[in-house]
Amino acid sequence: MPYFNSLAAGRPTYSLASDSNVDWNQALPDVKAFLEQQGQHRVSIDTYAFSDPAAFVPNADMWDCQKPTTVDDGQWAVVSSNMILDVHNCEWLLQYPHVAVAAGSMYAFRLPAPIPNAGEPGGPPVESQRRQWFRVPVDVRVYALDLIRHPETMPAAMAEMTKQMASGNFSPKK
């Protein structure tokens, strides 16, 4: 769990630090416990690591807090502290009820129903204002998750990524 001394003056972790100083999915067991307390069985999680959140939180779906869907309306969604302001552009979530999980490693947000459309007041950012890790034009976590779930596809996936990156046309298969 992250620890910040009294000099943090009560400021939230996402405003003070990032990367493994705050979260690398070590909070997922705490997320599971939080969701059980809320009686929620399915959850969207915007994680900071290249791992499968469902290994620790059953029925967890990898999520991008910049692109909510109607499935998320009124639900709790969990976001790594690192994704809120640093890696992704998810400051929009902070206006909704939220709870620090595992000392602020992750935050659980109660999403509105319905969630406003991108660019609308209270809604997520429009596509031109979204961010990805290392400015890669795709969410590389999706590739990692697919390879975790289907390791036999690694040779073909690596060949395809190498080809696409060399051509400058890096877009994952959906």
Q: Are 75 and 105 in contact (CB under 8 A)?
A: no
Same domain, 19 and 53: yes
3-state secondary structure 123-154: CCCCHHHCCCHHHCCCCHHHHHHHHHHCHHHH
Per-residue pLDDT of the chain (174 residues; tens, 9 = 90+): 555 555 555 666 655 556 666 778 889 999 999 999 999 989 999 998 888 999 999 999 999 999 999 999 999 999 999 899 888 999 999 999 999 999 889 999 999 999 999 999 999 999 999 988 767 766 777 777 788 888 898 898 888 778 877 776 655 544
Structural domain that includes position 169: 132-174
The whole-model pTM stands at 0.80
Query: Partners of 110 in the beta sheet?
Result: 76
Is there a domain that residue 44 lies in? yes
Is there a domain that residue 166 lies in? yes
- Residue 128 sits at the vertex; the CA angle it makes with 122 and 133, to the nearest 5 degrees, is 95
Same domain, 87 and 173: no
Is there a domain that residue 174 lies in? yes
Query: What is the count of structural domains for the chain?
Result: 2
Is there a domain that residue 49 lies in? yes
Query: Partners of 29 in the beta sheet?
Result: none
Is there a domain that residue 1 lies in? no
